[in-house]
Amino acid sequence: MLGSSSNGLRLAHPEHGEYTFNPPRSRLRVDLTTLHIDAIARSQGIGLLAHWLTAKREQHHPGELINCLSGWEPVPLPITLLYAYGHQSRRTHALLEFLRSQVPTQWRAKTAAV
Protein backbone atom coordinates (compact mmCIF):
# COMPACT_ATOMS: atom_id res chain seq x y z
CA MET A 1 0.00 0.00 0.00
CA LEU A 2 2.69 2.49 0.95
CA GLY A 3 5.01 1.42 -1.82
CA SER A 4 2.36 1.92 -4.49
CA SER A 5 1.43 5.50 -3.63
CA SER A 6 3.80 8.21 -4.81
CA ASN A 7 1.54 10.83 -3.19
CA GLY A 8 1.89 9.35 0.29
CA LEU A 9 -0.75 7.70 2.44
CA ARG A 10 -3.78 9.73 3.48
CA LEU A 11 -4.84 9.11 7.07
CA ALA A 12 -7.97 10.45 8.77
CA HIS A 13 -8.72 11.11 12.44
CA PRO A 14 -12.14 12.06 13.86
CA GLU A 15 -10.70 15.00 15.85
CA HIS A 16 -7.58 15.99 13.90
CA GLY A 17 -8.83 15.67 10.31
CA GLU A 18 -6.72 14.31 7.46
CA TYR A 19 -2.96 13.99 7.20
CA THR A 20 -0.81 12.78 4.32
CA PHE A 21 2.01 10.58 5.55
CA ASN A 22 5.09 10.34 3.34
CA PRO A 23 7.14 7.44 4.69
CA PRO A 24 10.92 7.50 4.56
CA ARG A 25 12.62 5.13 2.17
CA SER A 26 12.45 1.67 3.71
CA ARG A 27 14.96 -1.15 3.62
CA LEU A 28 12.12 -3.65 3.93
CA ARG A 29 9.22 -3.90 1.51
CA VAL A 30 6.93 -6.89 1.53
CA ASP A 31 3.69 -7.78 -0.16
CA LEU A 32 3.05 -10.82 2.02
CA THR A 33 0.99 -9.91 5.05
CA THR A 34 2.50 -12.66 7.20
CA LEU A 35 6.02 -11.33 6.65
CA HIS A 36 4.79 -7.79 7.30
CA ILE A 37 3.20 -8.73 10.64
CA ASP A 38 6.21 -10.80 11.71
CA ALA A 39 8.57 -7.90 11.00
CA ILE A 40 6.38 -5.50 13.01
CA ALA A 41 6.08 -7.97 15.91
CA ARG A 42 9.89 -8.25 16.00
CA SER A 43 10.26 -4.45 16.40
CA GLN A 44 11.34 -3.86 12.82
CA GLY A 45 9.08 -0.81 12.41
CA ILE A 46 5.43 0.10 12.18
CA GLY A 47 2.83 -0.82 9.61
CA LEU A 48 -0.72 -0.40 8.47
CA LEU A 49 -2.74 -3.59 8.95
CA ALA A 50 -6.39 -4.55 8.61
CA HIS A 51 -8.31 -4.76 11.91
CA TRP A 52 -9.49 -8.32 11.23
CA LEU A 53 -5.92 -9.41 10.57
CA THR A 54 -4.55 -7.94 13.79
CA ALA A 55 -7.47 -9.47 15.74
CA LYS A 56 -6.59 -12.92 14.36
CA ARG A 57 -2.92 -12.38 15.26
CA GLU A 58 -3.91 -11.33 18.79
CA GLN A 59 -5.86 -14.57 19.26
CA HIS A 60 -2.72 -16.62 18.70
CA HIS A 61 0.01 -14.21 19.86
CA PRO A 62 -1.49 -11.84 22.47
CA GLY A 63 0.41 -8.65 23.20
CA GLU A 64 2.79 -8.77 20.24
CA LEU A 65 1.17 -5.89 18.36
CA ILE A 66 0.32 -2.45 19.78
CA ASN A 67 -1.96 0.12 18.17
CA CYS A 68 0.39 3.11 18.25
CA LEU A 69 -1.76 5.58 16.26
CA SER A 70 -5.15 5.18 17.91
CA GLY A 71 -7.95 6.84 15.98
CA TRP A 72 -5.97 7.24 12.75
CA GLU A 73 -7.36 5.25 9.84
CA PRO A 74 -6.49 5.18 6.15
CA VAL A 75 -8.95 7.05 3.95
CA PRO A 76 -11.35 4.44 2.48
CA LEU A 77 -10.60 3.25 -1.03
CA PRO A 78 -13.29 2.17 -3.47
CA ILE A 79 -13.69 -1.52 -4.23
CA THR A 80 -15.15 -2.59 -7.56
CA LEU A 81 -16.33 -6.04 -8.57
CA LEU A 82 -15.69 -6.63 -12.28
CA TYR A 83 -16.99 -9.58 -14.26
CA ALA A 84 -17.88 -10.42 -17.84
CA TYR A 85 -21.15 -9.05 -19.21
CA GLY A 86 -23.84 -11.46 -20.33
CA HIS A 87 -24.95 -14.87 -19.22
CA GLN A 88 -23.11 -16.25 -16.18
CA SER A 89 -22.70 -19.90 -15.28
CA ARG A 90 -24.52 -21.03 -12.14
CA ARG A 91 -21.20 -21.29 -10.33
CA THR A 92 -20.23 -17.72 -11.25
CA HIS A 93 -23.72 -16.44 -10.42
CA ALA A 94 -23.54 -18.14 -6.99
CA LEU A 95 -20.13 -16.61 -6.32
CA LEU A 96 -21.32 -13.12 -7.27
CA GLU A 97 -24.40 -13.45 -5.06
CA PHE A 98 -22.25 -14.67 -2.16
CA LEU A 99 -19.80 -11.77 -2.53
CA ARG A 100 -22.65 -9.25 -2.71
CA SER A 101 -24.27 -10.73 0.41
CA GLN A 102 -21.01 -10.40 2.37
CA VAL A 103 -20.60 -6.65 1.86
CA PRO A 104 -20.47 -5.03 5.33
CA THR A 105 -23.49 -2.88 6.20
CA GLN A 106 -21.22 0.17 6.67
CA TRP A 107 -20.15 -0.10 3.02
CA ARG A 108 -23.73 -0.41 1.83
CA ALA A 109 -24.75 2.77 3.64
CA LYS A 110 -21.88 4.71 2.06
CA THR A 111 -22.61 3.30 -1.39
CA ALA A 112 -26.26 4.32 -1.15
CA ALA A 113 -25.24 7.88 -0.24
CA VAL A 114 -23.05 8.27 -3.34
Task: Report how many domains make up the chain.
Answer: 1
pLDDT at 52: 85
Number of Cβ within a 10 Å radius of residue 37: 20
Q: Report the distance separating Cα 10 and Cα 85, nearest Å.
A: 34
Contact 30, 91 (CB under 8 A): no
* pLDDT by residue, tens only, the chain of 114 residues: 444 556 788 899 999 999 998 877 776 666 788 888 888 899 888 888 888 888 999 999 999 998 888 899 888 877 788 888 899 999 999 999 999 898 888 777 654 444
Q: Degrees (nearest 5) of the Cα angle 18, 22, 23?
A: 125
Q: Does residue 37 fall inside a structural domain? A: yes
Q: Does residue 20 fall inside a structural domain? A: yes
Q: Report the distance separating Cα 38 and Cα 29, nearest Å.
A: 13
Which domain does 32 fall in, by range? 9-74
pTM of the complete model beyond 0.75: no
Q: Does residue 110 fall inside a structural domain? A: no
- Helix (H) or strand (E) segment spanning residue 18: strand 17-21
Q: Does residue 83 fall inside a structural domain? A: no
